[in-house]
Chains A and B, each alone.
Chain A
Amino acid sequence: AQSVTQPDIHITVSEGASLELRCNYSYGATPYLFWYVQSPGQGLQLLLKYFSGDTLVQGIKGFEAEFKRSQSSFNLRKPSVHWSDAAEYFCAVGGYGGATNKLIFGTGTLLAVQP
């Protein structure tokens, strides 16, 4: 069965430090992978997505993610974190499902940023 694992429930980093959020997936075919961000009490905003091609994808707000098929991973990175990056981050996996876009989400990683 398809699944997404985000092993880190909560991460704290200092402002200006680098960030890596982990995501591992289980999917029977070539996956389509997404990272979303959620501010408290808000909906989810797409940061970036991977469908095919270059395994390093760039997103909004200075984020990037690398697809590693051999490790079934799609980790999110940012070289220098800003206080406004404090939020919850969700990794999601989907595939070509015909008419639908059903995505499976991980349980999220809550990021805190220290001044």
Chain B
Amino acid sequence: SQTIHQWPATLVQPVGSPLSLECTVEGTSNPNLYWYRQAAGRGLQLLFYSVGIGQISSEVPQNLSASRPQDRQFILSSKKLLLSDSGFYLCAWSMFGQGSGELFFGEGSRLTVL
């Protein structure tokens, strides 16, 4: 069966420090991968998605970037964190080519920027 892992689960970082959140999927190949951010009262906002290695699409302009160095690995990064980057970050995957299929989510990473 397929599983998705995110780490770290919790992170407290000072303003201006770098960020790296990692996500890996097991049990499937060539998945679509997504990073969402969840802020209180604002639902889930899609930040990035990827349909293959090295292929990244950004949905909103921001201080963050994403990379996909391997088929089942998705990384969310920042060179210098802002206070506004605080939030709950969720990685998700879906079957490639199923344009209306559901997303499967990881357990999330809570980022607090102080």
Q: Which residues of B contact A (CB under 8 A)?
A: 32, 34, 36, 41-44, 46, 49, 51, 57, 59, 90, 92, 94-108, 110
Contact A51 B100 (CB under 8 A): yes
Residues of B within 8 A of A44 (CB): 44, 90, 92, 103, 105
Q: Which chain A residues numbered 12 to 61 have a C-beta less than 8 Å away from chain B?
A: 32, 34, 36, 41-46, 49, 51
Q: How large is the interface on A (under 10, 10 to 19, 20 to 34, 35 or more residues)?
A: 20 to 34
Q: Smallest CB-CB separation from B45: which chain A residue?
A: A105
Residues of A within 8 A of B44 (CB): 44, 90, 105
Q: Which of B36, B43, B102, B110 contacts A101 (CB 8 A)?
A: B102
B35 to chain A, nearest CB (A): 12
Cα–Cα distance between A45 and B107 once the two chains are bound (Å): 10
23 A-B contact pairs sorted by A residue (CB < 8 Å): A9-B41, A42-B107, A44-B92, A46-B102, A51-B100, A94-B99, A94-B100, A95-B99, A97-B100, A99-B32, A99-B51, A99-B99, A100-B32, A100-B49, A100-B51, A100-B94, A101-B102, A101-B103, A102-B49, A102-B59, A103-B103, A105-B36, A106-B43
Q: Smallest CB-CB separation from B102: which chain A residue?
A: A46
Contact B100 A32 (CB under 8 A): yes
Residues of B within 8 A of A9 (CB): 41
Residues of A within 8 A of B43 (CB): 4, 90, 105-108
How does the 8 Å CB contact mask read for A61-103 relative to B, with 1 for contact and 0 for none? 0000000000000000000000000000010001111111111
